[in-house]
Amino acid sequence: MAAEHAVERLRAHNVEFEKDIIRLHERVVVAVGYSGSNVSMLIGDDGVVIIDTTESTAAATNILTEFRKITDLPVKTIIYTHSHRDHIGGASVFAEGGSPEVISRANLSLDIMDDGSDRPNPKRAILARTKRQFGMGLADKTERVSIGVGPSDRPIKGLGAGFLAPSHTFEGDLHEVSLCGFDLSLHAAPGETDDHLVVWWDEQKILFSGDNYYKAFPNLYAIRGTRYRDFGVWADTLDQLAAFNAEQLVPGHTRPLTGVDTIREHLLDYGAAIRSVIAQTVDAMNRGETPLEFIEHIALPPELADKPFLQEFYGCVTWSARAYFEGEMGWFDGNPTSLFPTPRRDKAERLTALAGGADAVLAALKAAQQSGDHQWACELADTLLDLQYETDTVKALKADSLVVMADDTVNACARNYYLVYAAELRAGDV
């Protein structure tokens, strides 16, 4: 794939994140493009219901300003579709100093928020990788073209600062509520997270799906670092969402969908894509293939791969297959050679000697770059870095290759990771 083509495809996907206050119904509006995620407002008789709250107080403030041009009614209820920061981080702004009811499922996970405990956790590692995945510190639009499911220029001041603890949670699969004159049903819908819910307004057949659907291949594995997400459960949930026969669908990210047939197609194909990854990975595992073997051939079938809403702008098919393997089997790839591997530096020394010495490896690295083979250039760079050979030079060369690779992928997470990591290499931070 030509480099320009990949980054231009990613740039074109940004049409999904152009700022817009979309009116789905005289009593329902959705803010798209103001933050990493969508915020919906249901305008009732004596107050409004807010579904999801963005990742930051700055983004939430911008959206509330737009909502206040539509209605002065107080926010009576906030609903969290799930625990990811981009849905719970701006709630206090919508509360406007009051104390609205905040509803979530009882199992709302706050792993990525500060739980105040002394237990060891890899929060620092996850934060460093999160910064890379979302391209934090990169220039808006030019470097950070997209975050895959949101605009490149989302405001992040007050990131996570507006979280309000739920005041009302529910156990079980269904919670029916009457809020501000809306009869809503909240359904447990485990998928991208275990604590997911979807909101169904039966009277107008509008479904708020949270992040169990958005217009990009699902993030079955996030490179910022996540625990295994149960793929089969997510696919089953998509069947359940399709069965609503919704006339309008509001995803957690990307623009709403309209039309019963369109919505069913999207939801069922989304589930079929997940099941395709599961089936292919299981087949490969049962043939004895290791992850590095099966990622060479696992791909969506053409009838799914061509769907615009299954492009790998956010999730990635081969990363998902690897995550499924690990979720089912753990880290061991099945090859006994992998049980107690040669230490990296030792291996680098031996391979470099075979190759004619470190100078020869460095020359091969430069030749790989000249020929456009930047993945191989990075792998040779890693060998030399293991040897601590000409470290500054090699880091600079690796950074050069990562920058080229960034333009050659449609995946926003990979692109951002490459670019932030390149900057860290140049700054001597890694």
Applying CB under 5 A, the residues found at the interface with Zn ion are 37, 84, 86, 211, 252
Closest separation in Å from C-beta 242 to Zn ion: 20
Instruction: From 233, 177, 187, 232, select the one nearest 207 (Cα to Cα).
Output: 187
Closest separation in Å from C-beta 250 to Zn ion: 13
Of 231 and 421, CB closest to Zn ion: 231
Closest separation in Å from C-beta 327 to Zn ion: 21
**To 10 degrees, what angle do helices 344-354 and 358-370 make?**
80
Closest separation in Å from C-beta 336 to Zn ion: 41
Which structure tokens are listed for 214?
A: 């958005």
Name the phi and psi angles at 341, rounded to 5: -70, 155
Give residue for tokens 């979530």.
Answer: 104
Of 190 and 252, CB closest to Zn ion: 252
Closest separation in Å from C-beta 52 to Zn ion: 8
Of 35 and 401, CB closest to Zn ion: 35
Residue 139: Cβ-neighbour burial (10 angstroms; 0-12, 13-18, 19+): exposed
* Distance from chain centroid for Cα 260: 26
Cα–Cα distances in Å, from 226 out to 214, 310, 316, 417? 19, 21, 14, 15
Relative to beta strand 39-43, strand 168-170 is unpaired
Of 289 and 312, CB closest to Zn ion: 312
Answer for the pair 399, 425: CB distance below 8 angstroms, yes or no. Answer: yes
Which residues are CB-contacts of 190 (< 8 A; sequence separation ≥ 6)? Answer: 196, 230, 233, 234, 237
Of 213 and 231, CB closest to Zn ion: 213
Instruction: From 333, 235, 308, select the one nearest 277 (Cα to Cα).
Output: 235
Closest separation in Å from C-beta 82 to Zn ion: 8
Answer for the pair 100, 77: CB distance below 8 angstroms, yes or no. Answer: yes
Closest separation in Å from C-beta 211 to Zn ion: 4
> Cβ of 363: how many Cβ atoms within 10 Å?
14
Of 155 and 252, CB closest to Zn ion: 252
End-to-end CA distance of the chain: 30
Rounded-to-integer distance, Cα 418 and Cα 415, Å? 5
Of 193 and 248, CB closest to Zn ion: 193
Residue 339 carries which side chain, given as an amino acid letter?
Answer: L
Closest separation in Å from C-beta 266 to Zn ion: 17
3-class secondary-structure state, position 340: coil
Residue 213 carries which side chain, given as an amino acid letter?
Answer: Y
Of 100 and 252, CB closest to Zn ion: 252
Cα angle, residue 72 at apex, residues 67 and 77 outer, rounded to 5° = 75
Closest separation in Å from C-beta 214 to Zn ion: 8
Instruction: From 213, 217, 220, 196, select the one nearest 256 (Cα to Cα).
Output: 213
Rounded-to-integer distance, Cα 65 and Cα 73, Å? 13
Query: What count of Cα atoms within 13 Å lies in the side-chain half-sphere of residue 14?
Result: 21
Rounded-to-integer distance, Cα 428 and Cα 395, Å? 8
Of 39 and 186, CB closest to Zn ion: 39
Closest separation in Å from C-beta 288 to Zn ion: 37
Of 151 and 252, CB closest to Zn ion: 252
Of 216 and 277, CB closest to Zn ion: 216
Closest separation in Å from C-beta 87 to Zn ion: 6
Which structure tokens are listed for 297?
A: 């051939």
